[in-house]
Structure 1
Amino acid sequence: MAGADGSAKGAPGMVTDVVPVHLKRRRDDFHLQSEELDTALRAAVGVLEGLGPFWGDDEHGRLFYEGGGGRVGFRQATEEIARHVGAVTTAYERIGDNVSQAGANLETADWASVAALAQAVTTAGLAVPTTKAEVR
């Protein structure tokens, strides 16, 4: 957030450069990125599946695929990758939704009340609780 003079000091009376409609439009950007990541993962998995069981069926192939001796095998590693990418795609969708909601909240905020609250704090002062705790 920058002030009217371009500074980020946050001094009273400064104007933000946040435009609610821009925040709301970003939702689709995040959702598109989520879809593209999911598509890339599916394509990579498809390529690997197209190779078939390239590890073979001998002792070394089974060890590679299943893992052993406390080591993760190919099967578990690819499952974990899919879970992690799924978590990232879900996060992208949620971020987009939250950014859009922030824009909607900014549009509907009762700015007169916010300004009055800020004025009351400035005029009356802000009581800050004290504690006997100390930082060492």
Structure 2
Amino acid sequence: MIKFTKGVIMVLKKLFTAIGVTAAAFALSLTASTSATAAPIEAPTPVKSRIENTAAPDTAAEPRTCRARFTDGLNHRLRAEAGSQILGIIPAGTWVQASCERVDGGEYDACGVASAYWLEIYWNGNWGHGAWGCLQDWEFTS
């Protein structure tokens, strides 16, 4: 009788283990397929470049605003080009108002990154550009 009980217990353990493994695999497959098919959330496209618009941003036309801070002291440039006029230097870790998407521009090598992506930023009363490769944090503020 004892051998029979031990045998039944072993079979039940194997059965429940198999059921648990199957359930876990099924749950993971649902999770993987759900995240893979979910549509990516994209940042809104500004209606007009802030560089071209000297007036204050229209909140109706641009409902979201962003801010950014950079890892190193950042050259705040007039245009999205490495050789463009420097408007000032933004100290590392300082939060600044920024556009909600990156822009293509001239290639640069800054903060250990070679790229052609830039971010429109507002600093010291002027809109300009900063190297995307030096970005530490970037977030929506509204």
Same fold, judged at TM 0.5 (above)? no
TM-score by length of 1: 0.33
TM-score by length of 2: 0.32
Bigger share in strand: 2
Bigger share in helix: 1
